[in-house]
Amino acid sequence: MAPQSSPVSTLGEALGGPASVALPVTDPSHVGEARRRANGLGLTAGLSETERGTLAVVVTEAATNLARHASDGLLVLRAAGTPPSGVEILALDKGPGIRDLSKAMSDGFSTAGSAGHGLGAIRRMAGEFDLFSTPETGTALFARVNAAARAADDRLDRGTLGVVCLPVATERASGDAWTVERTARRTLVVLADGLGHGVDAARAAEMAIHTATKRVRHSPAQIIGAAHDAMRATRGAALAIAEIDLSEHRLTFAGIGNVSAVIVSPDGTQSLASHNGIVGHEMRTVHEFTYPWTGASCLIMHSDGIRSRWQLGAYPGLAAHHPALVAGTLYRDFTRGRDDATVLAVRVRET
């Protein structure tokens, strides 16, 4: 974690813990639990009582839609920002899609019949909102309710970061951990997947993240080298680090082990090269590779709990949406379900 006095802002980090909370919502009886969990995250994120009231309405409406209309509804919640300054809600389902989007978005229209709320109300009440829906793939809804008292922190990752980080169902601790660190010139994106899963995997991944957060001005290869030394007493981890320098239009990447990284841009997709090995145990010299990067590029990194055979082109238009919808959609459709799963989607805007 970056010290408070540091000019470096930490946008979010899992540090081995479940950064996200997943709640299947397939029945109206699940809505209350979703609201309670969201309220707990709202307290963590410093939301006022009024803001938690807004959060309750947003979560209730999103969850009610899942319960009444969707198949395989899943709500993914997280307290976002460091320190947490908002609650992010992803409502994911596999169909049937929203037939008349403009009608569904009109305020006061509620297919759930719940006192005139609905998608229009979510959009109006949330600090951020986005939606991607097709009849073929289903719907992903993103909303964020921010703590006004911590607004200075919100500004940093608004619209630029999407993440789902969830432990395998049998574990409480996530063996995946991540962080996104931003300095004036560059954005550092770090994803570690501790060997296996559970608490020992989480400790290894945490050590990798800790090493990175202490060296945010070092190159990806230097950080991996330092992590290798620091992680000898741990189980070891796969580790991938991308450094995005927008002013140089360049992304520099180094990866060891099975973390996937892809740049999606209007020109197509570019897979980033990792080497075999286990950071902390078996590793040869770390190589860095550079790739072109523009304001229209989106970096997607994920652990091997997500199958790698996805094609963003199967979701026409999704790449232009909030990165949380990209992360949520890939999690929904490609999670293996037998390992911790993390997806990061990152855009870097000119400021």
Nearer to Mn ion, 171 or 193 (CB): 193
Residue 13 touching Mn ion (CB under 5 A) = no
Q: What is the per-residue binding string for Mn ion in 248-277, x denoting contact by CB under 5 A?
A: ------------------------------
Q: Using CB under 5 A, which of the segments 105-113, 147-155, 213-221, 339-347 binds Mn ion? A: 339-347
Q: Using CB under 5 A, which of the segments 207-215, 287-295, 297-305, 320-328 binds Mn ion? A: 297-305
Q: Of 45, 304, 323, 342, which lies in the binding site for Mn ion, with binding defined by CB under 5 A?
A: 304
Contacts of 224 (CB under 8 A, 6+ apart): 239, 241, 254, 256, 279, 283, 286
Nearer to Mn ion, 243 or 304 (CB): 304
Q: Minimum distance from CB of 301 to Mn ion (Å)?
A: 13
Please give, one letter per residue, the 3-state secondary structure of the chain: CCCCCCCCEEEEECCCCCCCEEEECCCHHHHHHHHHHHHHHHHHCCCCHHHHHHHHHHHHHHHHHHHHHCCCCEEEEEEECCCCCEEEEEEECCCCCCCCHHHHHCCCCCCCCCCCCCHHHHHHHCCEEEEEEECCCEEEEEEEEECHHHHHHHHHHCCCEEEEEECCCCCCCCCEEEEEEECCCCEEEEEEEECCCCHHHHHHHHHHHHHHHCCCCCCHHHHHHHHHHHCCCCCCEEEEEEEEECCCCEEEEEEECCCEEEEEECCEEEECCCECCEECCECCCCCCEEEECCCCCEEEEECCCECCCCCHHHCCCHHHCCHHHHHHHHHHHHECCCCCEEEEEECCCCC
Q: Minimum distance from CB of 302 to Mn ion (Å)?
A: 10
| # binding residues, Mn ion (CB under 5 A) | 4
Which 192-211 positions form the footprint of Mn ion (CB under 5 A)? 193
Q: What is the per-residue binding string for Mn ion in 111-150, x denoting contact by CB under 5 A?
A: ----------------------------------------
Which 62-91 positions form the footprint of Mn ion (CB under 5 A)? none
Nearer to Mn ion, 37 or 281 (CB): 281
Q: In this structure, what token pair is assigned to residue 272?
A: 């980033």
C-alpha to C-alpha distance for 266 and 97, rounded to whole angstroms = 25
Q: Using CB under 5 A, which of the segments 47-55, 108-116, 157-165, 296-304 binds Mn ion? A: 296-304
Q: Using CB under 5 A, which of the segments 85-93, 308-316, 323-331, 333-341 binds Mn ion? A: 333-341
Angle, helices 199-213 vs 220-230, to 10°: value is 130
Q: Using CB under 5 A, which of the segments 138-146, 244-252, 334-342, 343-351 binds Mn ion? A: 334-342
Q: Minimum distance from CB of 278 to Mn ion (Å)?
A: 12
Nearer to Mn ion, 243 or 339 (CB): 339
Q: In this structure, what token pair is assigned to residue 302?
A: 């994920």
Residue 339 touching Mn ion (CB under 5 A) = yes
Residues pairing with 193 in the sheet: 176, 238
Residue 171 touching Mn ion (CB under 5 A) = no
Nearer to Mn ion, 81 or 305 (CB): 305
Nearer to Mn ion, 171 or 304 (CB): 304
Q: Using CB under 5 A, which of the segments 26-34, 264-272, 278-286, 298-306 binds Mn ion? A: 298-306
Q: Minimum distance from CB of 40 to Mn ion (Å)?
A: 27
| Residue ranges binding Mn ion (CB under 5 A) | 193, 303-304, 339
